[in-house]
Structure 1
Amino acid sequence: MLSILCGTFLLSCLIPYSSCSKTPIYILGLYPMTGDTWPGGVSLYPASQLAVEHVNNNPDILQDYQLRIALADTQCDGGHSVNSMFRELYNMSTTKVFVLGCGCSLSTIPTAAASHLWNLIQLSYSAFSPELSQKSVYPLFFRLIVPGTTFNLIRIAFLKYFGWKRVATLSLPGATFEVTIADFRVKAEETGIQVVVSETFTDDPTFQLINIKKQGVRIIYFSTYEPDARKIFCRAYHEGMYGSKYVWIIEGFYQRDWWKIRDENSMNCTVEEMRKATEGYFSIHVDALPEGDETKRVSGLSSHEYEVEYNEYVNYKANELLGIEEAPYGYDSIWTIALALHEADRILKEKRKW
């Protein structure tokens, strides 16, 4: 990927070399810092800032430049993300040479559709929508996390292992989730697994859950953001769709103990009722910090050493932060950008010699 990131269109973005001091290079950082959907920026942004410090203190990377992040809050919302991006790109006090983000596919899709018009590469640390794999629409978009359709191979293998032949799907409308569900249906049918019913909902999943129940389907895969997952499980509890007779397969990017959060989506269920409804669900997630891996990375840190430094950086409150499981991607994304810019700078200096 780095060879692509170092294309000639990037070379013209670098500010000319100054022999007096290091020249600041600004990355536009799009992070979901607030909002009801997934404010995971509270953990991802500190990880990125930690990486910026490590890059700037490394004598072998971008020796003539100082990396900086221009932070913009996307609220995990398409409208807010585009507005934040445009506002920062038109801010003439700083020139942005890269776009980093967004965290949610909802906000990444519209920004990635526009950022290339500024001839800017956009790198996301966590957007998983398969929609973003279309290079004709998002030509300068890259990401560190695999698209959601990749996990469908594991879900299908999981169903086959237990011999389950009938399944239902449930999702929110829109490309973020529907593309993954559509791919799941195709792969399921190819392996002899029948998708009996495939439902979408926008606010209240009651009707869709009742229909799934009427069809007699006990294996249910749903793809939504966390607040809507609480709606589904609360409604499933009231419909009696839980316990040993039901298998729920859900997304793996939710925060720890996500079902305990009290909001308008779970107001009709107690924590104990939510515990009963969610008990035994299955999810698939990439482990960003493999336990026991002491291999030194390009940053000079092992996974364990990064974890120690990050926890210290956030005042030993890492386990309290939303999105902590994805935080390492925030760190790695800065190093990816730094290495790309470093190589671009090397090529630019070579061209000056001509």
Structure 2
Amino acid sequence: MAKLSWQHHSRGRRLVSTSYFILATLTLLFSWSCPVLGKKKLYIGALFPMSGGWPGGQACLPAAQMALDLVNKRTDILPDYELELIHYDSMCDPGEATKLLYDLLYTEPIKIVLMPGCSSVSTLVAEAARMWNLIVLSYGSSSPALSNRQRFPTFFRTHPSATLHNPTRVQLFQKWKWTKIATIQQTTEVFTSTLDDLEQRVKEAGIEISVRQSFLTDPAVAVKNLKRQDARIIVGLFYETEARNVFCEVYKEKLYGKKYVWFLIGWYADNWFKIKDPSINCTVEQMTEAVEGHVTTEIVMLNPETVRGASNLTSQEFLAQLMSKLGGKNPEETGGFQEAPLAYDAVWALALALNKTVGPLKAKGRRLEDFNYNNKDITAEIYRALNTSSFEGVSGHVVFDAQGSRMAWTLIEQLQGEQNKSHFMIYFPLKTVRYR
């Protein structure tokens, strides 16, 4: 009896063991099939410059990830899909970006869209993308050259072209009755293209450009020439770092005060002239004196209205969440902090556009997950959806023109008394709507 009892017990153990084996096998098979039965992943290939000339990825990457997290939690936007970001540091360098673009394109999984940052990298990516039938959506590219639809047929950007506000600038020149201006520019493609367009427009308006100066890295000679040729109204086009160099030289040459007007075209953080910069030998007090009264014309990158847009966040709530994600870093020392709303809204523009394509694709017997680099039909649907984008974002109303560039507000500011600024906003095309 003992033997029979042992055999029965052993058989029972074998039966239990077999049951566990079958259960484990079914569980494994089920887990393999989960991606098919559950949410399907769509991949975004992104380049965020964490270093280099414009380290915008430092704030733009966290902002994009914030948007992705919210999109993936929504049940009314792409409910059957999950968006995932595959990103690299382009260092804002076209050479580095070439290698990274190759990795993105020739390494699984397939990416459904590309998201580059700075203009020089976007130019490279957008020109190559047509060969892979890929849409390119940039969050930080301002080069006017990127508005060429023949050269960049699948390119969109949530950052407006730098020439978008030139008509507004010319109207300001006319309003202030300027008949003669001088220019000084940093010799990079974005400022060269912007100035070429501006020169044509001021010529048509009967305004003369009496002095033209440019510099690559050191503005000392160019500023001295402005002084020598008695320039009084000076339009400057340069990045923030170069602006500090320019105004340090402006202080040395005494090219400021009531006799002079500086009108700047570029992208500047608040108190940009107070940021510690080892490349200049001027004090904060000297810089503050030199920049007094200067005028800037910039795009509005943060919605001034307290509205809840597509993401259900106000712009101020977005900023609070971004600050938390940055872990207390100083915004003025974090690259891309100003442009972060544009990166956030770029992800939302993409998500809403992809969501809009699901119905039309289904009618054709296609799905987003069917996309590959030879599939022009799915690309065409995504293009149509992005082309008709219109929603409220944390950067303002998001809509693209015929060249795929963002339409946006112009913020015109004058520095008065160190920190106090008088400013008003104009929405393209040239309708004054708000004074502050």
Distance 1:263 1:91 in 2: 40
Letter in 2 for 1:22: K
Residues 276 and 206 of structure 1, relative CA distance in 2, 3 Å threshold: same
Select 2:357's aligned residue among 338, 344, 353. 344
Question: What per-residue deviation string (whole Å, max 9, x for no partner) do you get for residues 317-345 of structure 1?
Answer: 57453332221111110011112222233
In the alignment, structure 1 residue 24 sits paired with structure 2 residue 41: yes
Distance 1:62 1:196 in 2: 56
Residues 120 and 155 of structure 1, relative CA distance in 2, 3 Å threshold: same
Pairwise CA distance, 1:98? 0.6
In the alignment, structure 1 residue 131 sits paired with structure 2 residue 153: no
Question: What per-residue deviation string (whole Å, max 9, x for no partner) do you get for residues 212-269 of structure 1?
Answer: 2222111111212222222211222222212222211223422232223333532x22
SS in 2 for 1:89: helix
Q: Is the 8 A contact 2:181 2:232 kept in 1?
A: yes
Letter in 2 for 1:54: L
Equivalence for 2:309: 297
Equivalence for 1:71: 87
Q: Is the 8 A contact 1:228 1:265 kept in 2?
A: no
**Where in structure 2 are the equivalents of 1:223-238 lying within 5 Å?**
223-238=237-252
Q: Is the 8 A contact 1:243 1:277 kept in 2?
A: yes
Percent identity, aligned pairs only, is 36
Distance 1:271 1:147 in 2: 32
Distance 2:105 2:356 in 1: 24
Residues 208 and 318 of structure 1, relative CA distance in 2, 3 Å threshold: closer
Equivalence for 2:323: 311
Pairwise CA distance, 1:147? 1.1
Letter in 1 for 2:98: V
Distance 1:228 1:242 in 2: 17
In the alignment, structure 1 residue 269 sits paired with structure 2 residue 275: no
List structure 1 runs of 4+ shifted beyond 6 angstroms: none
Q: How many residues end up aligned between the 2 structures?
A: 333
Between stretches 124-133 and 315-324, larger displacement belongs to 315-324
SS in 1 for 2:364: helix
Distance 1:318 1:208 in 2: 33
Select 1:95's aligned residue among 110, 130, 137. 110
Select 1:330's aligned residue among 343, 367, 391. 343
Q: Is the 8 A contact 2:130 2:153 kept in 1?
A: yes
In the alignment, structure 1 residue 282 sits paired with structure 2 residue 295: yes
Residues 206 and 288 of structure 1, relative CA distance in 2, 3 Å threshold: closer
Equivalence for 1:13: none
RMSD: 2.2
In the alignment, structure 1 residue 107 sits paired with structure 2 residue 121: yes
Letter in 1 for 2:141: A
Between stretches 295-304 and 141-150, larger displacement belongs to 295-304
Distance 2:96 2:150 in 1: 24
Distance 2:120 2:276 in 1: 23
Letter in 2 for 1:346: G
Letter in 2 for 1:296: R
Q: Is the 8 A contact 1:167 1:197 kept in 2?
A: yes
Between stretches 182-191 and 167-176, larger displacement belongs to 167-176
Distance 1:82 1:250 in 2: 33
SS in 2 for 1:107: helix
Where do 5+ consecutive residues of structure 2 fail to align? 1-33, 367-436
Question: What per-residue deviation string (whole Å, max 9, x for no partner) do you get for residues 157-188 of structure 1?
Answer: 22222222221112223431111101111111
Between stretches 317-326 and 182-191, larger displacement belongs to 317-326
In the alignment, structure 1 residue 50 sits paired with structure 2 residue 63: no
In the alignment, structure 1 residue 185 sits paired with structure 2 residue 199: yes
Distance 1:204 1:275 in 2: 20
Distance 1:229 1:87 in 2: 36
Letter in 2 for 1:187: R
SS in 2 for 1:71: strand
Q: Is the 8 A contact 2:239 2:266 kept in 1?
A: no
* TM-score, with structure 1 as normaliser: 0.87
SS in 2 for 1:299: coil
Where do 5+ consecutive residues of structure 1 fail to align? 1-16
Distance 2:274 2:320 in 1: 27
Please say which structure displays the higher CA radius of gyration: 2
Q: Is the 8 A contact 2:240 2:266 kept in 1?
A: no
Between stretches 344-353 and 144-153, larger displacement belongs to 344-353
Pairwise CA distance, 1:41? 1.5
Residues 172 and 319 of structure 1, relative CA distance in 2, 3 Å threshold: closer
Select 1:220's aligned residue among 218, 234, 241. 234
Distance 2:217 2:314 in 1: 43
* TM-score, with structure 2 as normaliser: 0.71
SS in 2 for 1:176: helix
Q: Is the 8 A contact 1:310 1:318 kept in 2?
A: no
Pairwise CA distance, 1:76? 2.2
Q: Which has the higher contact order (CA 8 A, sep 6+)?
A: 1
Residues 83 and 222 of structure 1, relative CA distance in 2, 3 Å threshold: farther
Equivalence for 2:270: 256
Equivalence for 1:8: none
Distance 1:114 1:128 in 2: 19
Residues 30 and 156 of structure 1, relative CA distance in 2, 3 Å threshold: same
Letter in 2 for 1:238: K
Between stretches 342-351 and 23-32, larger displacement belongs to 342-351
